[in-house]
Structure 1
Amino acid sequence: MVIKINALDTLFFRDGKPFARGEETWADGLFPPYPSVLYGALRSAYFSEHPNELRLANRDGDPTRAFRITNFYLTVDDHAFFPLPLDLVKKKGAKRDEMLIPLSRKEIEGAVSSCRTPELLYYEGDDPVEVVEDGLLADYELINYLAGKTNDLVYQRISDYLTLEPKVGIGRDITTRTAEEGLLYRVGMQRLSPRREICKTPQTLSLIVAFEGPEIAESGFLRLGGEGKGAVYEQTNEISLSADKFALKNNRFKIVLITPAIFEKGWLPSWLDEDTLSGKKDNISLKLIAGAVGRFRSIGGFDMVNKCPKPMYRAVPAGSVYYFEVQDTTSTVEETEAALIETFHGKPISDYEEMSAQGFGIAILGRLP
């Protein structure tokens, strides 16, 4: 099932920074939310339709444990957008209409470097470049990128489609209902609509979630994020990224994360050896040759049953790119390509099954230029 979610009010999704009562006064929001937020919203929607099964929540026989998020992206007036791959950069201070620049690769054998991969991504020009921190790539641009056509790509920014509406409040004494000293706080609420200086005509930023598991109503209401703000959802069609144009080039390919991934070894999947950077995934022998990996994201949550914070994970951010080389030469190229598509394309590759079910680590395959 695939649903489109539209907010009815401002939304607030917390990052991993502390925001303890009386200790922290400033809370910044993030967008888009982590897949676990939407996973929780789906579970709540199911239980609201089946209240007699609420007693099974987080216990044996919990029907919502069968939910699996299989895709997550944004749309602006039905145009799909995905996280910008981090091997695409822009010139520092460049105007918005300038094209993205693909990074090149070169071997670093014999060089003194903290980089553990045999190849390094770099910019061939002389001008300083930078990563687009909140970049988005339209689906048709991403299809070209995955086909190896990395020139003439144009990006968007998530912040262009959000309007910041901070909320200021103060804690109150639970008995007297009067303000308490030292409990003034500010929360960065966001409205899912573009700023007027960016877009003169109304546009709607929506969340698209594809999932498997128990059925929910074709349309309805959800509660999202801090304060449980309201949102409506309706069934829609999925815009999927086909692997039809995927092909190996000199036995090499790339994997792009469209949702954050959680690995046991930090930035490295558990099936790769930390020294050789080689390993097997579903009997496919691979070696990591390069990567464009962003700063880690702290992902946690709150356990409603045990009334305590969930364990905090460090996640590889969406948009991170891994370059691999196929080591197994016993299969034909066509067989290897089919196996790679079956193993990676559109599949969650996080090391923890629970996090994969929540939609962490959804990957797509791309060919090299």
Structure 2
Amino acid sequence: MTLMTNYLIEPLAPLVFRSGKPFGSQASAADVVFPMPSAAAGLIRATSINQKQAQIDEHTVDNVTNQSYQQVLAIKSTGPYLARFDESLQHVEILVPEPADALYFEAKSDNNEAEETNAKIQLVRLAPKALDPDCGSDLPDGLLPVQMETPIKGKPKPGVAYWTLEHLKRWQAELEADNKNKSKLTFDELQKDGLAQLPIDLRTHVAIDSKSKSSKTGQLFQTASFDFGYAITEGKATNGRSVWKDNRLGFIVQTEQSLDEDMVTFGGERRLSKFISVNGIEELYDDSSEELLRKINDAKGFRLTFLTPCIFANGYLPSWLEASTKKGRLPNTNITVNLKACAIDKWQPVSGWDSILWKPKAMRKAISSGSVYWFTLDSGLSLSDLEQILYNVWSDDDQDKNDGFGSAIIAPWKAD
């Protein structure tokens, strides 16, 4: 693996990342979306150009075959990942999307003493599981439905949208034989340390007529943006004054480029952020490569949990898998795997603006971050095989890989 440097994007103002919806006068929280990997890649490339780490001769170029343009596009990055940090930057933690194999479920149980029904929200695991013989589905051939491991009476509930990386690793490790007797991750823990939603700032804008000093007719509109400033701690006050949290939110981007601390514009409306190199970021894996290899080979399978959206050539299906059998060879290895199931929330539109060709990019569909894919192995992995896929970017197109679409974390999985 090439050594990557972690850079923190610390917003100095609310950041605008608009959805693909037509622009209207009224804004809502749905009008702002988590930034795509291509936005972070564009930031890294623009900063590289500004700091003379990359060279491009023209302000705009006519086509994608331009040599300078291709050199800029070859700069790789991963992210952005949501980050939570303190003012000293001594503690920076990554927050990841809720995995699609987790469900918040309000399970009902009878309380005999009170003679009433109590409801408590639980964290429920979803996993590939065959349907009963008298049931059917329209899933593609070879894929198992993803269901609750144990049926529970109740209904799904909303909950934490972003987990800490530590919580995700605990969630994945619960299925390992070595962790059967350890305490399981709970909804209360997620609610305490995770984030239910990102703070949204709604602003009203108006165009002023220079002569009358009044608003221009039809030119009143709103924008929505992420407000990552310091927040008030809910329910706490001292001597009538609010208590402010000692941490705030930003983004982490990883790249091979060696860049200086700078002021950058990330997102729309050219709002400023600090761009800082940071150390001590938590690793994706607690186990050594050798230990992880042993666990995956013992389980004869693994699952991928995507941390960023991923773009495959065939919709939900990677190009290296056969459409009819769902069998294929892992990228950069000779190991054959079988896709058994996948859990995907909904597809995400990916578009944007090409600031060098100076035209909009075509819209494409990506599987959403948090999606989970389950695979079985036809043969054991070697250490070199594992190292090829451990930090692999899983999109099919090389440029999408450079942009960071398809970062994922691997964990062992044993099929029933």
- More deviation in 132-141 or 283-292? 132-141
Structure 2 residue 214 is matched with structure 1 residue 190: no
Query: Which TM-score applies when normalising by structure 2?
Result: 0.75
Instruction: Map 1:50-65; keep pairs closer than 5 Å.
Output: 50=52, 53-56=55-58, 59-62=66-69, 63-65=71-73
C-alpha distance in structure 2 between counterparts of 1:356 and 1:93, whole Å: 41
Q: 1:234 aligns with which of 265, 276, 282?
A: 276
User: What is aligned with 2:128?
Assistant: 105
Question: Which residue identity does 2:161 align to in structure 1?
Answer: G
1:82 and 2:118 matched: no
Q: 1:67 to 1:131 in 2, by over 3 A?
A: farther
State how 1:105-254 maps to structure 2 within 5 Å. 105-108=128-131, 111-116=135-140, 117-123=142-148, 124-130=150-156, 135-149=161-175, 151-153=184-186, 154-155=189-190, 157-160=194-197, 162-170=198-206, 181-193=217-229, 194=231, 196-197=233-234, 200=243, 201-213=245-257, 215-217=258-260, 219-237=261-279, 238-242=281-285, 244=288, 245-246=291-292, 247-248=295-296, 249-254=298-303
Quick check: 2:25–2:220 contact (8 Å CA) kept in 1? no
For the 8 Å contact 1:3–1:209, the answer to whether it is kept is yes
* Shift in CA distance, 358/173, structure 1 to aligned 2, threshold 3 Å: farther
Cα pair distance change 1:35/1:71, threshold 3 Å: closer
Residues in 1 aligned to 2:213 and 2:371: alpha-carbon distance in whole angstroms: 48
Contact 1:259 1:360 in 2 (8 A): yes
Structure 1 portions without partners, runs of 5+: none
Residues 264-287 of structure 1: per-residue CA shift (max 9 Å, x gap): 111111111222111112322111
- Please tell me whether residue 277 in structure 1 is matched to residue 338 in structure 2: no
Is the 1:71–1:346 Cα contact (8 Å) retained in structure 2? no
Of 6, 13, 33, which residue of structure 2 is paired with 1:9? 13
CA separation of 1:284 and 1:226: change in aligned 2, threshold 3 A: same
CA distance in 2, matches of 1:281, 1:104: 22
Stretch of structure 1 that moved more, 39-48 or 336-345 = 336-345
1:308 partnered with 2:308: no
User: Deviations along 1:335-364, whole A, 9 cap, x unmatched?
Assistant: x15355223222211011111111110121
Identity of aligned residues (%): 22
Residue-by-residue CA offset, 1:204-237 (whole Å, 9 max, x unaligned): 1121111114x321x1111011101100021112
Unaligned runs of 5+ in 2: 86-91, 109-117, 177-183, 237-242
Deviations 1:29-59, CA, capped at 9 Å, x for gaps:
4453111111111122122223994435664
The match for 1:45 is: 47
Q: Note if contact 2:106-2:122 (Cα within 8 Å) is conserved in structure 1.
A: no
- Count of aligned pairs: 356
Aligned counterparts of 2:50 and 2:312: Cα–Cα separation in 1: 33
Shift of 1:179: 5.6
CA distance in structure 1 between the aligned counterparts of 2:11 and 2:252, rounded to whole angstroms: 12
What do the CA deviations read for 1:303-333 (whole angstroms, capped 9, x no partner)? 2344432111111111100000112x3xxx3
Partners of 1:145 and 1:366 within 8 A in 2: no
Tell me which amino acid in the other structure corresponds to 1:232.
Answer: K
Q: What is the CA–CA distance in structure 2 between the aligned matches of 1:53 and 1:198, rounded to whole Å?
A: 52
Shift of 1:263: 0.7
Matched to 1:192, the amino acid is F
Q: Which has the larger radius of gyration?
A: 2
- Aligned partners of 1:88 and 1:131 also within 8 Å: no
1:198 Cα deviation after fit: 7.5
Check the 8 A contact 2:159/2:196 in 1, yes or no: no
Question: In 2, are the aligned partners of 1:71 and 1:211 still within 8 Å (CA)?
Answer: no
| Offset, 1:12 | 1.0
Give CA-to-partner distance per residue, 1:135-157, whole Å, 9 cap, x none.
22212222223334593244355
Cα distance between partner residues in 2 of 1:51 and 1:88: 42
Letter in 1 for 2:412: R
Between 1:39-48 and 1:28-37, the stretch displaced more is 28-37
Of 236-245 and 55-64, the range deviating more from structure 2: 55-64
Distance across 2 between alignment mates of 1:51 and 1:258: 28
Contact map agreement 1:70 1:347 (CA 8 A) in 2: no
Q: Is the CA contact 1:25–1:183 (under 8 Å) kept in the aligned structure 2?
A: no
Cα–Cα, structure 1 residues 105 and 303, in superposed 2: closer, same or farther, change >3 Å?
Answer: closer
1:234 aligned counterpart, secondary structure: strand
Tell me whether 1:288 sits opposite 2:339 in the alignment.
yes
String of CA shifts for 1:57-111, please: whole Å, max 9, x gaps: 664124433321145422222232222211011114999x955211133223864
Deviations 1:119-142 (A, max 9, x none): 222122333443757622212222
Q: Which runs of 4+ in 1 moved over 6 A?
A: none
Q: 1:114 to 1:230 in 2, by over 3 A?
A: same
